[in-house]
């Protein structure tokens, strides 16, 4: 089956690293392509390769209508996936300071902060239509590879995919989540000595949380909300959502709820993935 990825996102978010990883996954990558020729290039290259990745950075957004160019590609090649890399602003500032590289929009602005704000505004429309959003704020190259592999390989021509992420609020909310649910109002197993070193996948922790009043009801309410949203996403042509569940440290409660939600949707016939972002930190 043919695969076409349009890789874009904020400067400093890791597009070059992601492009290299896509090459390792068998993609033929074309970097820094002007968006207005993306359709022509894809038409020429795709007959000869199985996997094609086109990388568009902010410089390409200065020439032509990026949204129209991308929609033209998706109309001709409906299997196209737009992968958008995003990162928290403070992390981007740190990365530019560390590498001492200039931001591509530095000549149009007076500071890195202003350049990032301008880039965010320029890319807003593409951000809104992206099929896959990846927040690289806390990802190293190995983790980025795992996430790219998981998200791209989970894509199917039919069906609907539910991606579930557990996280700790003290490490920040995942920027690529469509829905964020809070589990901090339930008792924290961290304060039980024999459960502290375990996580929400451990049977003792699961047994503890199953017996907490309201836990099962909360899983059911989240399921109901997501089923309602999925039905409407389908009418808009969406084929996936990303759901994040957080607790304080991302080790016990959020992990438990992420595992339970993943099972609920898998049993309902959805394709599911589950990621425990902060389980080793909490």
CA torsion 211-212-217-218 (nearest 10°) is -130
Token reading at 43 = 């038409």
Residue 10 in marked binding region: yes
- Cβ atoms of residues 29 and 39 within 8 Å: no
CA–CA dist 23, 30 (Å, integer): 10
- Cβ atoms of residues 83 and 64 within 8 Å: no
Whose structure tokens read 């590498």?
Answer: 99
Residue 219 in marked binding region: no
Read off the DSSP letter of residue 13. Answer: S
Residue 237 in marked binding region: no
Phi, psi dihedral angles at 175 (to 5 degrees): -75, -15
| Residues, the chain | 282
Q: E strand or H helix at 247, and its extent?
A: strand 240-247
- Cβ atoms of residues 268 and 275 within 8 Å: no
Residue 39 in marked binding region: no
Residue 251 in marked binding region: no
- Cβ atoms of residues 21 and 145 within 8 Å: yes
Nearest to 125 by CA among 55, 70, 178: 70
- Cβ atoms of residues 172 and 137 within 8 Å: yes
Residue 145 in marked binding region: no
Helix (H, G, I), strand (E, B) or coil at 163: strand
Residue 9 in marked binding region: yes
Residue 60 in marked binding region: yes
Strand partners, 276: 166
Residue ranges of the binding site for ATP: 9-16
Which residues sit in the known binding site for GTP? 57-60
Give the annotated binding-site residues: 9-16, 57-60
């Amino acid at each position: 089956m043919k695969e076409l990825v349009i890789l874009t996102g904020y400067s400093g978010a890791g597009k070059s690293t992601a492009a290299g990883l896509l090459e390792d996954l068998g993609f033929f990558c074309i970097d820094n392509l002007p968006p207005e020729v993306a359709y022509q290039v894809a038409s020429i290259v795709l007959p000869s390769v199985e996997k094609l990745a086109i990388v568009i950075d902010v410089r390409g957004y200065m020439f032509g209508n990026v949204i129209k160019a991308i929609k033209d590609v998706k109309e001709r090649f409906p299997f196209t996936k737009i992968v958008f890399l995003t990162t928290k602003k403070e992390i981007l500032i740190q990365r530019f300071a560390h590498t001492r590289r200039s931001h591509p929009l530095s000549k149009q602005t007076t500071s890195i902060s202003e350049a990032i704000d301008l880039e965010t505004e320029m890319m807003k429309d593409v951000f809104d239509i992206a099929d896959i959003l990846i927040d690289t704020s806390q990802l190293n190259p190995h983790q980025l590879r795992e996430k790219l592999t998981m998200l791209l390989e989970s894509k199917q021509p039919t069906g609907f995919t539910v991606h579930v992420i557990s996280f700790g609020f003290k490490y920040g909310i995942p920027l690529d989540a469509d829905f964020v649910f809070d589990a901090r109002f339930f008792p924290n197993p961290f304060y039980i000595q024999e459960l502290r070193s375990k996580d929400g996948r451990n049977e003792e922790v699961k047994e503890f949380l199953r017996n907490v009043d309201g836990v099962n009801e909360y899983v059911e309410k989240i399921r109901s909300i997501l089923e309602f949203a999925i039905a409407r996403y389908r009418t808009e042509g969406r084929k996936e959502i990303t759901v994040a569940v957080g607790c304080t440290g991302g080790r016990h409660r959020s992990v438990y709820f992420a595992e339970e939600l993943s099972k609920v949707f898998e049993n309902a016939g959805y394709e599911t993935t589950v990621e425990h972002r902060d389980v080793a930190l909490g």
